Amino acid sequence: MQFVINGRSLDADVDLRTSLLDLLRDHFGLSGTKKGCNQGACGACTVLVDGNRINSCLALAVQYQGRKITTVEGLTSNGALHPLQEAFVAHDGFQCGYCTPGQICSAIGMANELRTGVPSYVTADVAAEAITVDFDEIRERMSGNICRCGAYNGIIEAISETLGTIPLPEAKDAP
Amino acid sequence: MTPFLYEKVSERGDALSLGTHPGAAYLGGGTNLVDLMREAIARPTLLVDVTGLSCKIEEDEKGGLRIGAGVKNTAVATDRRVRARFPLLAQAILAGASAQIRNMATVGGNVLQRTRCAYFYDDEAHCNKRSPGSGCDAIGGFNRNHAILGASPACAATHPSDMCVALAALDATVSIDGPRGSRDLPLTDFHRLPGDAPEIDTELRSGELITSIVLPSNGFSKRSSYRKVRDRSSYAFALVSVAAALELDGGRIKNVRLALGGVAHKPWRAHVAEAALAGRPATEAFFAEAAEAELRDAKGLRDNTFKIKLAKRVIVDSLVKLSNAKDAPR
């Protein structure tokens, strides 16, 4: 199978039962993406596929051949942290850090959804053209990412501060 | 997980012919099926990936929509026509799961998702849905999330979908194709009550594939809402949810649609309440009377009797809010 991960084309000979999460961690050594519940309940495994956030634990790798997959390892450029990573450090958006890669990938996916006009359950008028991004919107949209240390306040602050400035989550093209 | 073969198809005919193989299962986003396979509840030997089929939302001349079964949940909730004409459907989808799961999950897969009853997932438990004839540990066990309407001594599981509750209220039709031809079923007839065969969730026959969901245009869904009550404010299955739509003529009810989630083995269309309300004044007293009538046959188990009162209150509150809303904005 052929994959495009963080801008690199990679081949893997894997069992059809392999999840995208296990492919990333066990076959490509990209252990930034974490395995929490392995059943879609915690969000620790969140990655971006063509800019959209998904749970890699519920994804069969075979379905994601040729798609542009971005993991937390693909967010740095020339060794510099992504602005959202900087903001998580500045605002104490974590304690143990296990959920953090998923939180960060998820927030980048959320920013993309806001740009493309995806409403949420707390959007006052679901038919309205414009969405006002406030505290409640961010909390609702990030509810697929659990933090068992309870660092939510710092997470929300980091995301709020960065939101306007998150670069488009376009995955890098394969060489 | 049992080993399987995998085929991705780009033509419906190929899907249907592979779908007749013994052990075949259609694969959408995998958000429920992969989990069921990991738990050895589903053991397909051939996965037919249909995510490349039926990925469009088409419009008819009257403003109704045909939503392809392969359309992602997020795409439905984002579609401007859905948000303007069928806002309760967008709300219901957005009330379900998480953004990550909605980005993966297809419409067809949402309709076919299986109960999240904890006993169904527990291979140490007795569950007639998982192992027919083995009994039901939920009925005498922890059943806060279980059914109050239409349950049987064999099963008290609930259908977990939010989207389907809105579809039930919207008179949606499920379009199906299969080895013996195509057919359409009203969504309200698609899912079954458990009876003595809770292992069968739906009327879908072996090899059949959901191809689309049809939403007819109507005069009521612009004034509509989806309310969901759950144990935490986001990313949890419903204790009770209510899809409601109201069309008024002066102060009287011209058309009303009500469906309940989290209370039954299928999305529960509240026909009794609707009949009680048709032509009546849109007042709280009539709403309460109708809610009472709908829940008259409800039966609580040890931990879920609260749902009976809760369902009535959410019905009444939803209808009061809709009747007070300024004339439908769009």
CATH number of B5-51: 3.30.43.10
Residues of chain A neighbouring B109 (CB-CB closer than 8 A): none
B32, B81, B98, B237: best to mutate for the A interface, most A CBs within 10 A: B98
* Rounded-to-integer distance, Cα B240 and Cα B160, Å: 11
Q: What residue ranges do the domains of chain B occupy?
A: 5-51, 224-324
The pLDDT value recorded for residue A163 is 85
- Helices and strands in chain B, H and E counts: 13, 12
Give yes or no for B6 touching A (CB within 8 A). yes
Structure tokens that stand for B306 in this block: 């609260």
Residues in chain A: 175
The parts of chain B modelled with pLDDT lower than 70 are 327-330
The pLDDT value recorded for residue A165 is 65
The pLDDT value recorded for residue A132 is 87
B97 and A16 within 8 Å at the Cβ level: the answer is: no
Give yes or no for A1 touching B (CB within 8 A). no
B83 and A113 within 8 Å at the Cβ level: the answer is: no
Give how far Cα B197 sits from Cα of A18, B139, B157, Å. Answer: 33, 16, 12
HEC per residue, B260-281: EECCCCCCEECHHHHHHHCCCE
Superfamily of segment(s) B224-324: CO dehydrogenase flavoprotein, C-terminal domain (3.30.390.50)
Per-residue pLDDT for A168 more than 50?
A: no
* Rounded-to-integer distance, Cα B277 and Cα B275, Å: 5
Give yes or no for A134 touching B (CB within 8 A). no
A54 and B100 within 8 Å at the Cβ level: the answer is: yes
Give yes or no for A141 touching B (CB within 8 A). yes
pLDDT tens profile B52-63: 999 999 999 999
pLDDT tens profile A79-138: 899 999 999 999 999 999 999 999 999 999 999 999 999 999 999 999 998 888 888 999
Chain A residue closest to B29 (CA)? A59
Residues of chain A neighbouring B84 (CB-CB closer than 8 A): 127
Contact predicate A151/A91, CB 8 Å: no
Give how far Cα B249 sits from Cα of A24, B138, B220, B222, B253, Å. Answer: 58, 45, 11, 14, 6
A121 and B4 within 8 Å at the Cβ level: the answer is: no
Give yes or no for A130 touching B (CB within 8 A). no
Q: What is the mean pLDDT of residues A65-87?
A: 95
The pLDDT value recorded for residue A169 is 43
**Residue B233 CB contacts under 8 Å (≥ 6 apart), including other chains:** A140
Give yes or no for B203 touching A (CB within 8 A). no
Residues of chain A neighbouring B228 (CB-CB closer than 8 A): 121
Domains identified in chain A and CATH numbers: 2-74 (3.10.20.30), 83-165 (1.10.150.120)
